[in-house]
Chain A
């Protein structure tokens, strides 16, 4: 990078930065003394006339919903593969005779080539695979059990010096909304040494989706809504059904897939399909632009083997292979039930109705007994906001985070979404590191009753966009963050001053 031409240029560049920050917030702000008036005028004119407007809150909320339900979105975009059979018109006798002759000729032709495999459209096979990955029934599979191994070699060593990630999985699928996946993930370093091992269990019982992290001894349960129209992560491809859907959805646009052979994987006859080079490399992740090869079960369209190479290289970046697979066997119903192990922490994300005042307090008292710090709750909140059900989430071994949300009454039973006027309070243990990091760059303020407090002022644009104001409060062993875009700074500070200890 070249240097400044002289000190004047350096000074002007600094003053210009200062003025941009001021004039974008307030177009009438006077330029700082010493800034070239022509430069100041250009900055003012650009800021007044050509600044991009903020995003529409409705668009942000809509996109947030799409992200929250991406699995459902992908499933909706999926199109089942069905061959087209146009109806035959009524035919005259002559035409029927001609058709009979034509059929006879065709039969002779078919007989001549019957010893050779019929040509197969790679794109059609991939379309079937796409349908089958999300709904195995489309390939005639009502249930299955399979065992597979996935390997990934990061292009650059991942954090902790990990050079290889191996995941062994066993998967049971008993119909829509019923699956069980047991996975063991092993991280290895360059010398092959094991750097970490983690096992996980996922069970969909038709109503809820349970995930158990045995290492952390934490169970997470979500409503199956939004997951039940897919097989979650149960599909043979591996961990990322979404990734597979993306890949297959792009098949005709981004690849020139070709059937390059007929082989056997896990005792099943498969098509080997080479996708060829990717014409749509992933932005920001060019290492995913390499060649990819899929082995697709000829009967069920399950992907039983997969390889991805580094761009322009024969070096494997990722692979998956199914070692065993059985279709349409009888599976015990107990495979698709789950009871949290005794002593495990359960994070329940299933939607619940808003609590009444007594229930709210009872829940907080229960949480206060479990948390590793003193819980605080505001005596009152402004603008008639009402609380959603509080959440105490584990952050790790013996570490917790409390989340309190206050929203307008009309929102309290609705699915969570960005609400500008909402107040969010997050509490955790006040370690010195947490306090230092949380308050970094913020302005110290006085909050009655608090050991220390800091403020960061937000902005609210006329179009409803902006950033939240945040007040951070240290209160004994608790660190509390209060965050809202709609409440004023004074209101936030009043709520911070009204925090009271929840008795254990």
Chain B
């Protein structure tokens, strides 16, 4: 236990965890439950991860920062109630609710499109290929089955396979299959839409 704690303090970016392995964050969580000051290493490890997820969902920096803050403040306030499990999965659940709250509470009249306008538009790559339109991508993502969409959104948030597996409560192998099928379907949908996906 002490070794784990030591490692995580010393190594804020340890190898990702999978659901089939014991969650090494538990030592850190236990330390933070005993002493709230020890929440810092958990925050340092997952702040960027959660922010990227919120940004993928909200498409707007300020909204993503607000949702990220909401996530960590709630996690901090409720840490004593965290039951043994995968800490990242717990954070992810809180973040999903924070994102949903961001729509319900603060920006009820805004659509995805309005969010998209505030994000930097995609640029054509160096090879001159047309970018994938954000609105078309969002529409295509919305047509994917929920588990495929979740995996792809987390992939776009920069999460590694084992982290995605931990968050969505599936095996790493299942995540690989979901990602593959999601992208197969996404390619079809983008092609049907007639956008850049048609050339993919």
A residues within 8 Å of B by Cβ? Answer: 1-2, 4, 9-10, 12-14, 16-17, 20-21, 24, 27, 38-39, 41-43, 45-46, 48-56, 59-60, 63-64, 66-68, 70, 154, 156, 158-159, 220, 240, 242-243, 246, 282-285, 287-288, 349, 395-396, 399, 401, 403, 418, 424, 426, 428-429, 431, 433-438, 440-441, 456, 458, 465, 467-468, 470, 472, 479, 481-483
Contacts and interface: CB of A to CB of B under 8 A. Distances in A.
Contacts of A2: 177
Interface string B14-42: 11000000001000000000010101100
Nearest to B83: A156
A437 B27 CA distance: 12
A55 B157 CA distance: 11
A307 to B, nearest CB: 17
A470 B13 contact: yes
A435 B2 CA distance: 11
A428 B2 contact: yes
B65 A438 contact: no
B10, B24, B47, B170 interface centre (most CB from chain A within 10 Å): B10
Given A13-B176, A16-B176, A434-B3, A39 B183 contact: yes
B69 A282 contact: no
Contacts of B131: 45, 49
A242 B74 contact: no
A287 to B, nearest CB: 8
A48 B128 CA distance: 13
B176 A17 contact: yes
A34 to B, nearest CB: 13
Contact of A401 (B6, B129, B176, B184): B6
Contacts of A284: 74-75, 78, 90-91, 93-94, 97
B160 A283 contact: no
B132 interface: yes
A54 B50 CA distance: 10
B48 A60 contact: yes
Contacts of A52: 51-53, 55-56, 156-158
A281 to B, nearest CB: 9
A50 B94 contact: no
29 contacts: A2-B177, A9-B180, A16-B176, A17-B179, A21-B160, A41-B200, A42-B190, A42-B200, A45-B200, A46-B137, A49-B122, A50-B134, A52-B55, A52-B158, A54-B48, A63-B65, A67-B40, A158-B83, A159-B84, A243-B77, A283-B94, A283-B97, A428-B2, A436-B3, A437-B24, A438-B10, A468-B11, A468-B13, A470-B11
Contacts, number: 219
B15 to A, nearest CB: 4
B6 A56 contact: no
B187 A483 contact: no
B43 A64 contact: yes
Contact of A285 (B81, B122, B156, B200): B81
Nearest to B131: A49
B77 A481 contact: no
Contact of B171 (A1, A9, A220, A282): A1
B4 interface: yes
A426 B4 CA distance: 13
B3 A435 contact: yes
A283 B74 contact: yes
Given A39-B183, A468-B13, A433 B132 contact: no
A335 to B, nearest CB: 25
A64 B76 CA distance: 11
B183 A481 contact: no
Given A55-B65, A66-B73, A456 B14 contact: yes
A395 B35 CA distance: 12
A396 B34 CA distance: 12
B44 interface: yes
A45 B6 contact: no
A395 B2 contact: yes
B96 interface: yes
Contact of B180 (A16, A418, A424): A16
B55 A472 contact: no
Contacts of B52: 52-55
Contacts of B96: 283
Contacts of B39: 67
B156 A246 contact: no
Contacts of A13: 176-177, 179-180
A9 B176 CA distance: 10
A285 B78 contact: yes
Contact of A55 (B51, B76, B82, B161): B51
A399 B5 CA distance: 13
Contacts of B184: 39
Interface in B166-200: 170-171, 174, 176-177, 179-180, 183-184, 186-187, 190, 196-197, 200
A433 B1 CA distance: 9
Interface pairs A-B: 3 shortest CB-CB: A481-B10, A434-B3, A283-B97
A432 B179 CA distance: 39
Contacts of A156: 83
B51 A16 contact: no
Contacts of A282: 74, 78
A441 B83 contact: no
A481 B9 CA distance: 9
B5 to A, nearest CB: 7
A419 B48 CA distance: 15
B44 to A, nearest CB: 7
